[in-house]
Structure 1
Amino acid sequence: MCTAEATASLLQVEETFSACLARIDALILKPLLQAGSDQKGKENLKLFLLSIPSLGVRWHIKFGRQRSGNLQKKYLMNLCLNSLSRSEAWKHHKTVLKQFLTDFTSETSMSLALYTVLHKPIRDHIMQYILLLTKLNEFLKEGSEKDVVTSAIKEYMKLESFVSQVLDEACFTKSLWKSLGYKFTDMLCVPERRLLEDSKNLPISASTNRSDRILLFDDVLVLIQGNSFQSFDLKLVWVDENSFLFLCPQAVWQWKLNQAVRQALNGKRDFPLWGKTGEGTEPPSCRFFTYVFKLEGKFKSASYEGEWHWGKPHGKGTLKWRDGRNHVGDFKEGLEHGFGICLVPRRSEDRYDCYKCHWYKGKMRGYGICEYGNDMVYKGYFKDNMRQGFGILENFSAEHPFKYTGQWENDKKNGYGVWEDKDRGERYIGTWLDDHKHGQGIVVTQSGVCYQRTFHADKMVGCGILLLEDDYVYEGNFTEDLTFVGKGKLSFANGFILEGTFTNKSGQGLQTHGILNTSNEQLDDRITKAQLGLEEFPVEKRWKGIYDQFLEFIHSGCKEETEESFMGFHIQTSKELRKSQEYLFCQRYEGTEDVSWKIEDILEELVQHQGLESLPSYLEKALKSSLHPLGKLLKALTIAFQATYSGIGANKHLLTMAQEEIKYYAKKIWEFYQGLLHLALEQKGQLSAKHVEGDISDQKACSMVLPLILPCFYPELFMLYMLYHEREDDLYCQGIMDLSLFPDIKLLEFLDVQKHLWPLKDLTLTTNQRRSLIKDKCFLSATECLQKLITTVDPREKLVILQKTYEEIESTVSRVVEKDYKLPMDDLLPLLMYVVSRAKIQHLGAEIHLIRDLMDPTNQGGLYDFLLTALESCYEHIQRMRLHQRENCHVTHSS
């Protein structure tokens, strides 16, 4: 029976409260919604609507989780009455509304009455529910129903405490605004702001003066010092046990600060007052927020939007300054750290400098790409915001286009580097000091003229060597326009040598006083084909900046986060950053999915493929991949090599310099492979004395690496070989043209090939080979085999082709004599010369010397060496034949 009465009482209370809410809606809310015809009314309406979620219109026990603190805005009600006075609905219901307000309060003030009616019904309703539920709970037996009612009572009691708390905060806030001066209230007073704590009421031990006052609001923390104050947004306040914006050791203050910060970040109050778990959780140390820096420093007046950690920018973010500068990228402990893109406006120009670089503790460090507003682009390494190490600076403007590839120090060209002046058609290869050509240098011109000279601050000093296109060599002093002056020696291509003093008077041309040696001795090859830069630029000192970056990467432990800054950019998750980033001088190589790119996987694979059987294939894949450190290193070396020897730099006097450079590349790549393997084994605890000493010799290693990297440099290198051996190859080609006039039988006879070796009948050669007919082509299979020499790059493959050519010749001869026949040298040379003359390889001299220079030293003295020597003999014999014909023609003509 009591349960039924309690239920009826609850229904009656609910009906009464619903009727009250209906009257509030009809007499207050709807008239107010019709008000606000002018701008002031609209503003008052907006302020009033802020309090609507707390009116209890949508009554529910969970409603206490909303911002109930907005109930107590007495000063807000005064503003709202201005709008109500303009409402026609207000005028119609004014008498009824007065009576309605009188039912709730005896206060005569209309604003206080309105204030009371908006919170008194809900408070009374909560108390009635608590009383009724308590009575109901007394008559229920132990069980699930009693547990539900008990839980409901506790929730209503929490709600009652919550409402009381926010009402108290409103009263404290009202008192605070009255006590503060107009200077502070004008700046701090916001209708929805509530005071949570005041150091005047609860003292705090701080590193501030005793006269300072600290106010904790629900959205900001205010530090008042005399007649000034500082305001800190709670979303950017971090509370530590010992420090935050000031020292804060008191537990109560620390707890209240943590609670206020957490609530500000969540955008709602805790319900109940201490949250579900009592004191609640601490606010996160990592946050995302926008803030404008005001204190002195590099970020002053800059707006930062991004991730924060303990009060400092940390993670992804964007900085924007008022002068147009902005920085987008990674931050760490308040500074730029990691990959970032920075835009800097240029003075007096409507253009920007764009820095896409890696940063370290607020400064550019590591690899970066800088696109300047004056049409210059730098790709290379930085340290402390300055170009440092290897880098490429290129000017794309039409006024003075140039390109520098080389070493930098303190933002200036220092050390070994290559400068290409595209206007003058010149390339300087040599040393630099403080942005000037300084020390030994080689200048190569577009016309093919090449000279080596000592420079001092861009000026030529002392004597030098000048190499002209027609193989004239001048040693002595000369001017910038390549005019001979002073003492010097001029060597002619025919062997004559003129030594004396040279002058160049206006209108009289070049004059000399000296001795002309006409002994007609052949000019020393060392002079006619002088090789420059060998002593002046030791190979181990060239491109040191590239090697240093790789060594630093290994010494750092090959951490994945450092790979980008040392070896080039990595894939960015952000679409904008991905558009801006590049790899080290190359685009992503799409064919290397089978090679892992994560550095930990690379180190693991190094250990797995260290055996001699699998090592060559692993190195081949690694060097082809632009994602592997060794592949990145090879790509950078390729760029440096091309900058030196391609285009204008294709000069025969640089052949030996280029050749030894490639051999050194192979040596360094092997050293770096060993460094990576050593690190991988050390990290796995598998390093042994065997690995320290190495079980593969450096000579064997270079023989393994050189053929793998040679394709990257082959076009430029072979061009140098062709230029170097151009005269010999011209003689050889003329000889080939003369021999091609002979029919097969006549040529065999002319070359003194033994007649019993001539294929005078149809022969069917080995499987998949064509017939060798006397009326068609003799030794056709051998000729076609030798022609494949020009289709390969690797000296090993070229030697294999030469061996197969020899086997084809021997196989044909064996079929002719109808027995196995081993060719002696006397028989091999004429037959090989016949095959060479029919193969008509245009640059055979360049091919032979490239094989000889780059072949594996272990092949010396073996079959390959024997066959290569035989091919050299054929080549030289064909040249001598042409020379002999020229001499005979010359004698006949003279007669």
Structure 2
Amino acid sequence: MALRLRMTTFNAKRRRMWHSGRKLDMCTSEATASLLQAEETFLACLARIDALILKPLLQAEPHDQKGKDNFKLLVLLNDRFQALWNFTEENYRILKQKCSTSESFCIQDFYAVWKGDLFLSLYIQYFVTFANYVVVQGFEHATKSKSEAWKHHKTVLKQFLTDFTTEASMSLALYAVLHKPIRDHVEQYVLLLTKLNEAFKEGPEKDLVTSAVKEYVKLGSFISQVLDEACFTKALWKSLGYKFTEMLCVPERRLLEDSRNLPISASTNRSDRILLFDDVLVLIQGNSFQSFDLKLVWVDKNCREKSAAGVYVLRIITPEETFFLSAKDPQMKAVWQWKLNQAIRQALNGKRDFPLWGKTGEGTEPPSRRFFTYVFRLEGKFKSATYEGEWHWGKPHGKGTLKWRDGRNHVGDFKDGLEHGFGICLVPRQSEDRYDCYKCHWHEGKMRGYGICEYGNEMVYKGYFKDNLRQGFGILENPSADHPFKYTGQWENDKKNGYGVWDDKDRGERYIGTWLDDHKHGQGIVVTQSGVCYQRTFHAGKMVGSGILLLEDDSVYEGNFMEDLKFVGKGKLSFANGFILEGTFTNKSGQGLQTQGILNTSNEQLDDRITKAQLGLEDFPVEKRWKGIYDQFLEFIHSGCKEETEESFTGFHIQTSKELRKSQEYLFCQRGTEDVSWKMEDILEELVQHQELESLHCYLDKALKSSLHPLGKLLKALMIAFQATYSGIGANRHLLTMAQEEVKYYAKKIWEFYQGLLHLALEQKGQLPTKSVDGETNDQKACSIVLPLILPCFYPELFMLYMLYHEREDDLYCQGIVDLSLFPDLKLLEFLDVQKHLWPLKDLTLTTNQRRSLIKDKCFLSATECLQKLITTVDPREKLVILQKTYEEIESTVSRVAEKDYKLPMDDLLPLLMYVVSRAKIQHLGAEIHLIRDLMDPTNQGGLYDFLLTALESCYEHIQRMRLHQRENCHGTHSP
């Protein structure tokens, strides 16, 4: 393990001295001369060691593998030696040059002080490498070398090492020669620098030298400890068997404590042995051992494990095992606890303390949260997986990555050793070079809550999970060209169950109905691309019984029919012209449709009740549609609006880490740059503050528009469900009432959930919800407060259904408008029986070539332009306000003509309003009127708005009848 020097104070003082350039007093000459003499002697010693010790050793390269490994260490030791030699020589050269020129010394001239951090670093590197060589018994192996080079120099070495004769003593001699002179020189530095320091007066130079002396004292202590640890560790390797040494002996590894020296046991029979190294904790039991990386070892001093009387226990926690160390007295337990924690702390820091053993080290207990890589070995779901990430008390906890050998991997949040929170999991598909990708929320190791799964076969699922299975609301889509489909609806135990919508893009069909075990089951509606739709009962995916088939040409068939829409068996076919064919139908190949029955031609016109039949109302109660969405929100409220639950109930949370966010797709949370930060505590606080009607309206508007607010998330999910049902193929007039009641129910549920959030917020503040004083029911409040806010989200699909439903009436109305547009203003006013004293003739500005009777689109122009704004709004309230302003503009124009305030009676208003309607030329006025009527605030019924809307309806119907009568007259029929 590398050792890095801490010289912060020393270096800071040196930097402050850099620009001073102060000359030292001549009284330091004696100390300088002593230092110069010491460096000269030391250099001579180093040169002799290099020539007579290191060079012969380096020439004797062994041939066995163990010797080769040791030889590499020797080469590194020589490199450290040479670096130390070179720097000492540089220090000597500068000192000698200053002395020979009789120049005054600056503090910068003393390398041992000025570059003390580099000096210390070189000594540390040398002695750490030297200790590594000692640990692997390098000197013993070197003296046993049988190479010719070694034999040639052995005599010379013996002369150099006069006190040693045997091979055993030769190894001791080499050990002594390669460390003692250098170690002694460090002690000499302390003495010489102390003497130099005494020559200084108080000031920055004295402080700098004082700091240097302290660091060299520490270095001396460090060298002693390094050598002691090396000898202690070498003795251990000698005492252990070859099996243990071969697997555990690493040059850099140091033994810090041995249970034979400081008794402690991991078992009751106390026959085991505990070895604490600087990087691992080893348990030896018989002929086997276990090794635990200190970076993933936690020491629980507050162990609650019951132990025998007189035994003191430490609990040791590792990623896959937990065991106990027992000591006979509390002092022994405390020492082991301290040694373990210091070793763990230093292992985590990646460096040893300087010196190695202080009174308390650089810190107390190591952190419980860590970041590390580990390969799981034992049986379990993580076996053979590599985990890289955050840990807490022996368990993956926080951000991390799991990788298995078979290609699986999981990136995300962990808690107490299990996947918990948001995570991305890749699973390779068998026999395919593809992966299934799960981007999901996890709970205690299993998928739970919202997620996105991209399967290797190109299918994509976006929705909810429980216990790794699709559960609740979800969307499964297959965009591939082979069999494209899309299912939006309820899931249970990984199967389609409950209400859902299925798009079969091959067949150009959409199924809206109930499911059971992945099959259409129960009542269902099928809408085709050609505009045909039918309702049938299904059983295990097959149609059973009779049904109703609504054709594009307004024909209606009631009876039994095949999947290809061929009539079979008894049935009744009602044609658009009013004829009814009732009997038994057959389809023979090449012969077309055949029937035996009765054709009734007495009906003059097909009943509107049939052609505009609404499907699914009784069979799919609105309360039972999209329960999966509501249930998730309800669970969120019942949980107390915990942030963890919010993350998984609808989309992803804003606090998800940046790295994971890059990989996320959003179903309901389309992230944008939103100025508002929606945190649950802030949301609940604001709910309490915005209970007044006006304030509440503004708050709900802001919340519903946000993809981060829970109510906004809920609305986004409902939008997706609505579009899946009624957009595209689903735009069929026979589904209008289903869609209309669904939007109203959305408003009701959103209001309920708002109230649930408000009650929770009030409960947390110890308050009670206030009772409503306006007498409105929840349904009325939902319609008056929430519906106008959410209607724009559903308006495109909903208004399309209104246009299709009222298409025939609007066509008649538009033809009537075309006829009326041919009239000049005055002729039209006359045709509509508008009283002449109400005509705004002053508004008709004529040129020399114009006649009043030909002027068009001038009268009541302000009212006309006002009414035309009806199509620019979505909210029924705003449409009614426009209608009121149109009425006020008409009345204002009439008052100007009459030159007095004029209140229009109904007899005058209707012809004037019809004139304005005919000039406004609103294309789908029938759809507009009925949308307003169906979705308007119930409190407006019976008031001015209701009166004006009734008047507009009358104008619309009158224009239709005008055209209808004209068409009947053209066909020779009698006009009623």
Would you call these one fold, judging by a TM-score over 0.5? yes
Cα deviation digits, residues 524-553 of structure 1 (max 9, x gap) = 433221111111111111111111111222
CA drift at 1:523: 4.2
CA drift at 1:25: 4.9
CA spacing shift, 1:783–1:266, aligned 2, 3 Å: closer
CA drift at 1:480: 1.1
CA spacing shift, 1:687–1:860, aligned 2, 3 Å: same
CA drift at 1:658: 0.2
- Structure 1, unmatched stretches of 5+, are 60-67
Report the more deviating stretch, 163-172 or 836-845: 163-172
Alignment RMSD (CA, Å) = 4.7
Contact 2:834/2:912, CA 8 A, preserved across alignment? yes
Q: Aligned to 2:683, which of 568, 588, 602?
A: 602
CA spacing shift, 1:592–1:174, aligned 2, 3 Å: closer
Cα deviation digits, residues 103-143 of structure 1 (max 9, x gap) = 79997754332211122224545677899999999999999
CA drift at 1:506: 3.4
CA spacing shift, 1:132–1:52, aligned 2, 3 Å: same
Cα deviation digits, residues 165-203 of structure 1 (max 9, x gap) = 544443343333333332222212222322233334444
Report the more deviating stretch, 666-675 or 689-698: 689-698
Does 2:113 match 1:30?
A: no
CA spacing shift, 1:152–1:627, aligned 2, 3 Å: closer
Does 2:920 match 1:839?
A: yes
**DSSP-derived class of the 2:137 partner:** helix
**DSSP-derived class of the 1:692 partner:** coil
Contact 1:759/1:774, CA 8 A, preserved across alignment? no
Report the more deviating stretch, 114-123 or 702-711: 114-123
Contact 2:857/2:919, CA 8 A, preserved across alignment? no
Cα deviation digits, residues 538-575 of structure 1 (max 9, x gap) = 11111111111112222222233432222211346655
2-structure distance, mates of 1:769, 1:587 = 59
Does 2:606 match 1:523?
A: yes
Does 2:966 match 1:885?
A: yes
1-structure distance, mates of 2:72, 2:542 = 78
CA drift at 1:510: 2.5
Contact 1:472/1:492, CA 8 A, preserved across alignment? yes
CA spacing shift, 1:80–1:747, aligned 2, 3 Å: farther
CA drift at 1:294: 0.6
CA drift at 1:600: 2.3
CA drift at 1:850: 0.4
**DSSP-derived class of the 2:615 partner:** coil
- Name 1:171's counterpart in structure 2: 231
CA spacing shift, 1:712–1:772, aligned 2, 3 Å: farther
Contact 2:144/2:167, CA 8 A, preserved across alignment? no
Cα deviation digits, residues 315-359 of structure 1 (max 9, x gap) = 111111111111111111111111111111111111111111111
CA drift at 1:459: 0.6
Report the more deviating stretch, 606-615 or 401-410: 606-615
CA drift at 1:448: 0.8
CA drift at 1:207: 3.7
Report the more deviating stretch, 833-842 or 41-50: 41-50
CA drift at 1:270: 3.2
Report the more deviating stretch, 832-841 or 92-101: 92-101
CA drift at 1:703: 1.0
CA spacing shift, 1:56–1:839, aligned 2, 3 Å: same
Cα deviation digits, residues 364-409 of structure 1 (max 9, x gap) = 1111111111111111111111111111111011000000111111
CA spacing shift, 1:101–1:525, aligned 2, 3 Å: farther
Report the more deviating stretch, 720-729 or 742-751: 742-751
**DSSP-derived class of the 1:91 partner:** helix
CA drift at 1:699: 0.8
CA drift at 1:675: 1.8
Identity %: 90
2-structure distance, mates of 1:885, 1:758 = 27
CA spacing shift, 1:619–1:280, aligned 2, 3 Å: closer
Contact 1:51/1:70, CA 8 A, preserved across alignment? no
**DSSP-derived class of the 1:142 partner:** coil
**DSSP-derived class of the 2:771 partner:** helix
Contact 2:425/2:437, CA 8 A, preserved across alignment? yes
1-structure distance, mates of 2:856, 2:511 = 57
CA spacing shift, 1:149–1:345, aligned 2, 3 Å: closer
CA spacing shift, 1:816–1:633, aligned 2, 3 Å: same
Does 2:419 match 1:323?
A: no
CA spacing shift, 1:178–1:84, aligned 2, 3 Å: closer
Alignment of 1:152-167 (within 5 A): 163-167=223-227
Contact 2:826/2:852, CA 8 A, preserved across alignment? no
CA drift at 1:580: 1.1
Cα deviation digits, residues 284-316 of structure 1 (max 9, x gap) = 212211111111111111111111111111111
2-structure distance, mates of 1:207, 1:768 = 119
CA spacing shift, 1:92–1:846, aligned 2, 3 Å: same
2-structure distance, mates of 1:666, 1:223 = 66
Contact 2:534/2:547, CA 8 A, preserved across alignment? yes
CA drift at 1:9: 7.8
Q: What is the TM-score of this pair, normalised by structure 1?
A: 0.87
- Name 1:55's counterpart in structure 2: 81
- Name 2:705's counterpart in structure 1: 624
CA drift at 1:648: 0.3
**DSSP-derived class of the 2:662 partner:** helix
2-structure distance, mates of 1:811, 1:172 = 108
CA spacing shift, 1:730–1:431, aligned 2, 3 Å: same
Contact 1:54/1:70, CA 8 A, preserved across alignment? no
Cα deviation digits, residues 475-497 of structure 1 (max 9, x gap) = 22211111222222222333333
Report the more deviating stretch, 559-568 or 615-624: 559-568
Cα deviation digits, residues 782-805 of structure 1 (max 9, x gap) = 222211111111111111111121
CA spacing shift, 1:167–1:734, aligned 2, 3 Å: same
CA spacing shift, 1:58–1:602, aligned 2, 3 Å: farther
2-structure distance, mates of 1:723, 1:712 = 19
Alignment of 1:287-302 (within 5 A): 287-302=370-385
Q: Aligned to 1:615, which of 688, 696, 705?
A: 696
CA spacing shift, 1:581–1:692, aligned 2, 3 Å: farther
Contact 1:173/1:195, CA 8 A, preserved across alignment? yes
2-structure distance, mates of 1:692, 1:549 = 32
Contact 1:607/1:677, CA 8 A, preserved across alignment? yes
Q: What is the TM-score of this pair, normalised by structure 2?
A: 0.80
CA spacing shift, 1:775–1:205, aligned 2, 3 Å: closer
CA spacing shift, 1:618–1:147, aligned 2, 3 Å: closer
1-structure distance, mates of 2:416, 2:407 = 24
CA spacing shift, 1:776–1:723, aligned 2, 3 Å: closer
CA spacing shift, 1:892–1:497, aligned 2, 3 Å: closer
CA drift at 1:8: 8.7
CA spacing shift, 1:545–1:776, aligned 2, 3 Å: closer
2-structure distance, mates of 1:266, 1:104 = 43
Q: Aligned to 2:46, which of 12, 21, 29?
A: 21
2-structure distance, mates of 1:771, 1:45 = 118
Contact 1:436/1:458, CA 8 A, preserved across alignment? yes
Report the more deviating stretch, 476-485 or 707-716: 476-485
Contact 2:70/2:138, CA 8 A, preserved across alignment? no
Contact 1:728/1:845, CA 8 A, preserved across alignment? yes
CA spacing shift, 1:563–1:23, aligned 2, 3 Å: farther
CA drift at 1:263: 2.6
- Name 2:131's counterpart in structure 1: none
CA spacing shift, 1:52–1:266, aligned 2, 3 Å: farther
CA drift at 1:694: 10
Report the more deviating stretch, 189-198 or 686-695: 686-695
Contact 1:452/1:532, CA 8 A, preserved across alignment? yes
CA drift at 1:633: 1.1
CA spacing shift, 1:696–1:857, aligned 2, 3 Å: closer
- Name 1:64's counterpart in structure 2: none
1-structure distance, mates of 2:425, 2:648 = 16
Report the more deviating stretch, 479-488 or 528-537: 479-488
Contact 1:212/1:226, CA 8 A, preserved across alignment? yes
Contact 1:466/1:473, CA 8 A, preserved across alignment? yes
Report the more deviating stretch, 459-468 or 806-815: 806-815
Contact 2:497/2:518, CA 8 A, preserved across alignment? yes
**DSSP-derived class of the 1:336 partner:** strand
